[in-house]
A and B are shown apart, each in its own frame.
Chain A
Amino acid sequence: MNIRLEKRPAPSRMLLALTPLLAVVATMIAGGIMFWALGANPAEAIRTIFWDPLFDETFGAYSRPQLLVKAGPLILIAIGLALGFRAGIWNIGAEGQYIIGAVVGAGVGLAFYPTENRLIFPLMVVAGAFGGWAWAMIPAILKTRFGTNEILVSLMLVYVAENILASVSSGLLKNPDGMGFPGSRNLARDYPAASNLELIPNSGMHWGVVAAFVAVIFAYVLMTRHKMGFAIRLTGEAPRAARFAGVSPTRLVLFALGTAGALAGMAGLFEVSGPAGQISIDFGSGYGFTAIIVAFLGRLHPVGILLAGLLMALTYIGGELAQLMLGMPAAAIQLFQGMLLFFLLAMDVFANYRIRIGQREVA
């Protein structure tokens, strides 16, 4: 008796569609065992993570809006990343682009303080997008001009961005009225023209969430109806055929990294002017890295990313709730989120292979 993996002639479409759901189920089971080992009631832990944030009478009112607040930047960043990932361009540095977008956008807003003008916030959005775009252009140009590896360059630029963030929050952008504490003025609280507040009270809906939904629609149209989307898919599936079809690899790299950078930069700006409120040393919260998981969990498909972003946001909020209510350590929650990606990738194997159980062929 032995178990073998046998390659399918073609990937199973049904399983490809089902694997995200199967991965969630498997994560719940494995996560439940982990929570049980940590001394919690597994059913209660799973319910706390997946159910209570939305439907608990006490916490729901607080955590429901958080769902959109957390999902917005994840979706916005993941949409941009997926464009590159589809073409085999690996931008791992969205976190850096997110930080620089926030710094540049907030910087522009703070430069106008305390002027009140309705154009200031749109201008900040443009500046944020520009900041993220410019930061992404560094790996893009190094790759197209000198053939450097965009994975390494974009990743290393995250650490540069974090140091810039630390520097400006205790230097250039430090709040003059902040009594010496590091961190900028609070845009959300102290500067109405530059603030990104909730559009509908208690919904969590702010301009960044709107931008994320718009990005989903744009990405969907781009990928299915536009030449550029076709060029991206073609490059990902058959790079030589793409070159034969007249796709310029250089333009594609600039487009994919530039778009991802601009969207990440915008996400940073919406965050700094809204939920975070100010530029501070600990502004970088890992959205740029989590968005990589979201992009893959959503199968690099815009609608999939929308759903994956909401799911990932739920585990964030539910995880915090589990820490609070059940005393679970933060590491356990991160492990739980990691399991999601792990099981997704593992389940993918079954879309491409089938299991054969039986006797080995007689030699």
Chain B
Amino acid sequence: MTDALLTLEGLTKAYPGVIANSDVSFSIKPGEVHALLGENGAGKSTLVKTIYGLVKPDTGRMMLNGAEFSPANPRAARAAGVAMVFQHFSLFEALNVAENIALGMDNPPPTGELAGRIRDVSEAYGLPLDPGRMVGDLSAGERQRVEIIRCLLQNPRLLIMDEPTSVLTPQEVDILFHTLRKLAGEGTSILYISHKLEEIRSLCEDATVLRLGKVVATCDPREKTARELAEMMVGTSLHTPEREGGETGEVLLSVAGLSLPAPSDFGTPLKDISFDLRAGEVLGIGGVAGNGQDELLAALSGERAVPPGMVRFKGRDIGRLRPNARRALGLLAAPEERLGHAAAPEMSLTENALLTGDTREQLTSNGFIKWGKVRDFAARVIDAFDVRTPGTETAAGALSGGNLQKFVIGREILQRPEVFVVNQPTWGVDAAAAAAIRQAILDLSAKGAGVIVISQDLDELMEISDHFTALNEGRIARIRPARDLTIDEIGLMMGGAHDMAEAIV
């Protein structure tokens, strides 16, 4: 233990009603890439926030380089050599790269000197970045580089990375891994948080698995299969979705030249999107978040009206139809954001069943709600999709993410959609629930429905799609059969082609 850079001993942190970390102990060696694995809610975030000085543990202690380490705030943690790249960037779009980096430093050097140091570091680690560019013009991958370089300028001994690849194309992931390996080679330790198991297997030498706040396993991820790692996280064996290669039939949904302006300053305009969706087909739409996924779903679900002729359902122009009129025809949707969009968190599951179920399940008559029937519908969803809840009157917000997602997906699937559009069906869902949801989507298509799955999880899309395309800045790539695609081709479709040339070192 003496050669460890950071040692955690018996860290425990409880919040009202939940124990986030319970007696967590492990250590990270110098120059090691250490993975922290666990499902959502397993306590990974609390643990790294403890190391970074954002959370104080109730009991337990930390040792950094053999000395007691209890940072009172992130500034103290940085001073001790701990740096962190967050999943969500904290950058100002209207400032340039150097200015953003200076803002995040405790003692920024003069601008000219800083720009020089940014160039040096970015070249040394193969992260090309021009200090004078506006952050607003950068891609997500480039923005992450800004955050990483901001950390590297402090010469950290431990770099914490929280889900760094969720916003990156496969090519950008390669660049990042190249950098991380180089850093580790120079002796910097990296604590790497991700739920993408293949990444962890290729990058990390050691892994600590958390479940319900406790360390349940430590292993060398290179010696395990992704499936074994997933089973350690979940604690049960996993079911792999199966598809029965369905024949595709008539065109159900036809989108032709769909263009829509951005709904707000922060939205993405849709540009000339065209595709046909056939009965029995699963169309996977990949792409990095913020490239028009929400906007496409809103245009298909009817939350936003569309100019005439752009969206047809079985040949009928439905662009002006509102959500319930589209539901009546058989076009159902499940948005990405569970709390506040797909479901109302403060309302009961019964009330949330009414939220989309009214039209097709006839839950009202003359405007009056038949609560008994609504409750039955909610109970059927809970039953059919194994939603773990005390009952139908539980508030949606009280369910775990995975259980609520099963409820949201089940609510739509039980209404027998002819076309089902779903955005991020398994985002933040544990592996067992994700497998169940994917199987339900495949079963639906086997029965002759057309399904559009919008997702950032490429493995998921490859597993369930017949055809694949990607959204990039509101446009879609040419649609290709999914089975012939290589990961490189997918990356190019996702728009990873830009600025690749200079980046490959």
Contacts and interface: CB of A to CB of B under 8 A. Distances in A.
B346 A363 contact: no
A99 B56 CA distance: 59
A232 B368 CA distance: 14
Interface in A241-262: 241-246, 248
A234 B356 CA distance: 12
Nearest to A227: B367
A67 B87 CA distance: 60
Contacts of A361: 56
* Closest 7 pairs between A and B when the two form their complex, measured CB to CB: A246-B324, A238-B344, A246-B323, A240-B341, A238-B340, A245-B355, A9-B17
Nearest to A241: B344
Chain A interface residue bracket vs B: 20 to 34
A145 interface: no
A226 interface: yes
A353 to B, nearest CB: 11
Contact of B356 (A7, A8, A245): A245
B56 A240 contact: no
Interface string B4-25: 0000000000001100000000
B3 interface: no
A230 interface: yes
B72 A238 contact: no
A227 B358 contact: yes
B342 A241 contact: yes
A225 interface: yes
A237 B367 CA distance: 21
Select the residue from A228, A245, A361 with max chain B CB neighbours within 10 A. A245
6 contacts: A228-B367, A234-B355, A241-B340, A241-B344, A245-B323, A246-B302
A288 to B, nearest CB: 29
Given A227-B358, A238-B341, A245-B356, A6 B351 contact: no
Contacts of A230: 351, 354, 369
A240 B337 contact: yes
B369 to A, nearest CB: 6
Chain B interface residue bracket vs A: 35 or more
A221 to B, nearest CB: 9
B369 A225 contact: yes
B341 A237 contact: no
A194 B344 CA distance: 48
Contacts of A234: 344, 347, 351, 355
Select the residue from A8, A10, A244 with max chain B CB neighbours within 10 A. A244
B84 interface: no
B303 interface: yes
Contacts of A226: 367-369
A246 B332 CA distance: 12
A225 B369 CA distance: 5
B253 to A, nearest CB: 18
Nearest to B326: A246
B302 A241 contact: no
A228 B347 CA distance: 16
B359 to A, nearest CB: 8
A243 B303 contact: yes
Interface in A1-44: 6-10
B156 interface: no
A245 B334 CA distance: 11
A245 B398 CA distance: 21
B322 interface: yes
A237 B346 contact: yes
B343 A227 contact: no
A233 interface: yes
B16 A9 contact: yes
A313 B387 CA distance: 49
A241 B16 contact: no
Given A233-B347, A238-B341, 10 more contacts: A7-B16, A226-B367, A227-B364, A227-B368, A228-B367, A238-B340, A241-B343, A242-B344, A246-B324, A361-B56
Select the residue from A225, A246, A363 with max chain B CB neighbours within 10 A. A246
Select the residue from A225, A228, A233, A240 with max chain B CB neighbours within 10 A. A240
B293 interface: no
B445 interface: no
B335 interface: yes
A243 B342 CA distance: 10
Contacts of B343: 238, 241
B301 interface: yes
A10 to B, nearest CB: 7
B345 interface: yes
A246 B322 contact: yes
Nearest to A9: B17
Contact of B341 (A241, A246, A248, A363): A241
Nearest to B73: A363
A6 B16 CA distance: 9
Select the residue from B322, B354, B367, B395 with max chain A CB neighbours within 10 A. B367
A351 to B, nearest CB: 14
Interface in A324-363: 361, 363
A8 B323 CA distance: 36
B323 A237 contact: no
Nearest to A233: B347
Contacts of B339: 238
Nearest to B323: A246
Nearest to B359: A246
Contacts of B367: 226-228
A185 B241 CA distance: 81
Contacts of B369: 225-227, 230
Contacts of B302: 246
A306 to B, nearest CB: 23
A92 to B, nearest CB: 25
Select the residue from A8, A228, A230, A233 with max chain B CB neighbours within 10 A. A230
Nearest to B297: A244
B334 to A, nearest CB: 9
B398 A8 contact: no
Contact of A363 (B72, B322, B371, B398): B72
B345 A244 contact: no
Contacts of A10: 395, 398
A355 to B, nearest CB: 13
A242 B347 CA distance: 12
Contact of A238 (B70, B345, B398): B345
Contact of A244 (B342, B359, B398): B342
Contact of A240 (B70, B72, B323, B340): B340
A41 B17 CA distance: 48
A230 B58 CA distance: 43
Contacts of B72: 363
B355 A244 contact: yes
Nearest to B367: A227
Nearest to A235: B344
Nearest to B358: A227
A356 B337 CA distance: 34
A289 B183 CA distance: 66
A226 B56 CA distance: 49
Nearest to A238: B344
Contact of B355 (A6, A9, A225, A241): A241
